Amino acid sequence: MSEEAGFVVGVDRQAVMRRREIVSTVLRRGAWATLAIGAIGIIGAVYVLITMRYSGLWPFAVLLILAMLPLVVSTFFALRLDAERQRWYAAFPLQPVAMRMTERGLELACDGAGYPVMLPWATVHGFRQKKLFGQYMLELSLAPGVGATTAGVRGLDQPAVRAVVKPSPLLHPIGMFLVKALDQPVHVIDQALQHYSGGKAAVRQ
């Protein structure tokens, strides 16, 4: 982030690390539970095929095996996703500052981005507070038509930024900042937004 004076919202590193650990633990446990269910189903079906091959139940056993295979495969995808996420965390250290507000505009840090996003106040509506997977997030709200080539805007074209600001024209933005991970309460961030933007930007529900 720049050294220009303004209102700074930092990141609670411990809160972020706890959240990451919880997400990783839940993902791994879910993956292993899914594998166990799939394995039990396949073993049971194989047992039926071997011991009751003349009972006429073999079509059902085959169908059960086919139904359980996606569960087993999904386990490996989930574990690979977790491993890739851990490598990403290691490659991109956590930013100490989430955002800075000045008279010039709103400056945002995004994990994985090479440099901060700079948004003049005319391009920003503020943030929306949304609940995502049981956690409140601050989702960036831009003025209609604002993009990476808008005058005064810098950094929106970075892949790490696009992934959280607008992942797809068909999908809703997934949020930028976990509220619990910020060292300033939402109402204080809202007051600062309104102050520096001259009332143009705010935190909306």
Q: Which of 182, 196, 3 is nearest to 96 (CA)?
A: 182
Task: Kindly report the average pLDDT of the chain as a whole number.
Answer: 84
- pLDDT, one tens digit per residue, over 102-133 is 999 999 988 778 888 999 999 999 998 888 76
For the chain, how many residues are written? Answer: 205
At 170 the pLDDT is 47
CA dist 111 and 98 (Å) reads 9
Q: How far apart are CA 156 and CA 108, in angstroms?
A: 10
CB atoms within 10 A of CB 61: 20
Calculated CA dihedral for residues 102, 107, 108, 113, nearest 10 degrees: -150
Over residues 148-168, mean pLDDT: 80
Q: What is the pLDDT of residue 167?
A: 56
Residue 155 clears pLDDT 90, i.e. is over it: no
Question: With 80 as the cut, is the pLDDT of residue 69 above it?
Answer: yes
188 or 47, higher pLDDT = 188
For residue range 13-61, list pLDDT tens digits in order: 887 788 778 878 888 999 999 999 999 999 988 888 888 776 777 788 8
Q: Which residue has the higher pLDDT, 91 or 123?
A: 123
CA-wise closest residue to 173 among 204, 127, 134, 205 = 127
Which of 9-13, 62-66, 94-98, 103-107 is predicted least confidently?
94-98
Is residue 171 predicted with pLDDT exceeding 50? no
More confident residue, 133 or 188: 188
User: Model confidence at 1, in pLDDT bands (50, 70, 90)?
Assistant: low
